[in-house]
């Protein structure tokens, strides 16, 4: 991991920049009510055969910035899409059942020196209060979709149910210059939610592929995206899975990322 000695000071300054620019607004939880599992799952199971699953997302839009980038700001982002993008719905909020979810984002061709990932617990006005996890690493210089799983190592607390968390990704073009011209940041939100016993039992009985329909019907964006990514890694020649991935990104207006490379190993089970 890329960790020069002077990076700690620069990243501390970077955090101050990130937090100072965040809006302070009250949040009233309004989540789209999912259809009953049996009805919606039947629809999605049929659609899955043709490479299309309709995912329900939260109807409440939270203030965030899932896309950001400009060659004028830091001079280290290039290509046709010089943006850093969080793979989130346009509402900026994604739901999960996972205590340690997987996060996805896109970085373009770049000459950045480091990437900073941060996860904060927030208060009722969405102000970051407690740093849950933070890490930095050297980015790939070529455009790609990257993922990071919140580590379950005994040092990081699991996401609390119904708690809102802010997650952010920052590209640092020059670690000696933590000013806005060198730091390009995006941020969104994740919320861990409870599911009914009926849905939980259905997931236990389902194969990994069958779970896609359940996750989509319940609006569990993080679970759905992580599962499709895993299935694609384990079945690289399955074009239906590629079509599902494309369809999901199209539904959240990120279709321009559908063909971007994404590297993930098939996990052992």
For 18-75, write each residue's pLDDT tens digit: 544 444 433 333 334 444 555 545 544 555 554 679 999 878 899 999 999 864 544 7
Under the phi-then-psi rule, with left for phi > 0, alpha for psi from -120 to 50, and beta for the rest, what region is 253?
Answer: left
pLDDT digits (tens, 9 = 90+) for 97-127: 999 999 999 999 999 999 999 999 999 899 9
The CA distance from 32 to 37, in Å, is: 14
Cβ-in-10-Å burial (0-12, 13-18, 19+) of 109 comes to: middle
Three-state DSSP class for 122?
Answer: strand
Q: Domain 7-255 falls in which CATH fold?
A: Immunoglobulin-like (2.60.40)
C-alpha 23: how far from chain center: 20
Per-residue pLDDT at 205 = 96
pLDDT digits (tens, 9 = 90+) for 171-203: 999 999 878 778 999 999 999 999 999 999 999
**What distances in angstroms separate CA 119 from CA 68, 74, 133, 136, 241, one per listed residue?**
18, 23, 5, 12, 30
What residues contact 14, with CB distance under 8 A and at least 6 apart?
A: 116, 170, 172, 178, 183
């Amino acid at each position: 991991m890329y960790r020069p000695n002077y990076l700690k000071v620069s990243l501390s300054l970077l955090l101050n920049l990130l937090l100072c620019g965040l809006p302070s607004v009250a949040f009233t939880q309004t989540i789209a009510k999912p259809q009953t599992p049996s009805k919606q799952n039947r629809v999605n199971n049929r659609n899955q055969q043709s490479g299309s699953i309709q995912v329900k997302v939260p109807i409440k839009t939270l203030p965030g910035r899932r896309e950001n980038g400009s060659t004028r700001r830091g001079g280290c982002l290039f290509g046709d899409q010089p943006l850093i993008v969080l793979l989130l719905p346009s509402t900026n909020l994604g739901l999960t059942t996972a205590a340690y979810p997987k996060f996805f984002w896109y970085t373009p061709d770049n000459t950045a020196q480091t990437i900073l990932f941060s996860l904060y617990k927030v208060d009722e006005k969405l102000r970051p209060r407690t740093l849950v996890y933070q890490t930095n690493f050297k980015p790939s210089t070529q455009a790609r979709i990257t993922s990071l799983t919140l580590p379950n190592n005994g040092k990081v607390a699991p996401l609390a149910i119904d708690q809102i968390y802010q997650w952010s990704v920052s590209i640092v073009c020059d670690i000696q210059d933590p000013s806005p011209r060198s730091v390009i940041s995006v941020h969104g939100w994740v919320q861990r939610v409870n599911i009914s016993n009926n849905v939980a039992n259905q997931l236990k009985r389902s194969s990994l592929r069958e779970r896609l329909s359940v996750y989509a019907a319940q609006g569990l964006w993080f679970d759905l995206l992580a599962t499709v990514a895993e299935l694609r890694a384990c079945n690289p020649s399955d074009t239906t899975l590629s079509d599902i991935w494309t369809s999901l990104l199209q539904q959240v207006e990120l279709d321009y990322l559908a063909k971007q490379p994404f590297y993930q190993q098939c996990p052992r089970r």
